[in-house]
Amino acid sequence: MNVLPVEMGLLLAGVLFTLGLISVLIRRNIIFMLISVEIMLNAAGLAFIVAGSRWAQADGQVMFIFILTMAAAEVSVGLALILQIYHHLKTLDSDAADKMSG
């Protein structure tokens, strides 16, 4: 079985990360922004896995599990916040939540 070159894996991780980043920047819907952040996290996780397999070390997978845990925590907190924002502002537009301005 052909081993995929490590570059391809990293490239995929990079593309995923960039896509996530761009959509965080351009999306105004706060749920989409959260999803995009998840994508970025997963891109980072992918990079860890790739690097781990490249060096034949378990560290990469350990880190990925960390990221998964963290992402789960983040999503739960994030969704709770989103619920609150929606409850208060009746919209999911992140720009509407600029009460902290100034």
In angstroms, give the least distance from the CB of 68 to another protein.
22
By beta-carbon proximity to another protein, the closer residue of 12 and 92 is 92
**Cβ–Cβ under 8 Å, residues 56 and 33:** no
Q: Which residues of the chain form contacts with another protein (CB under 8 A)? A: 21, 24-26, 28, 30, 33, 94-95, 97-102
Q: Which of residues 17 and 64 has its CB atom nearest to another protein in the complex? A: 17
List phi, psi (to 5°) of 91: -155, 160
Strand partners, 29: 93
Instruction: Give Cα 83 distance to the centre of its chain.
Output: 19
C-beta of 3 vs 102, nearer to another protein: 102
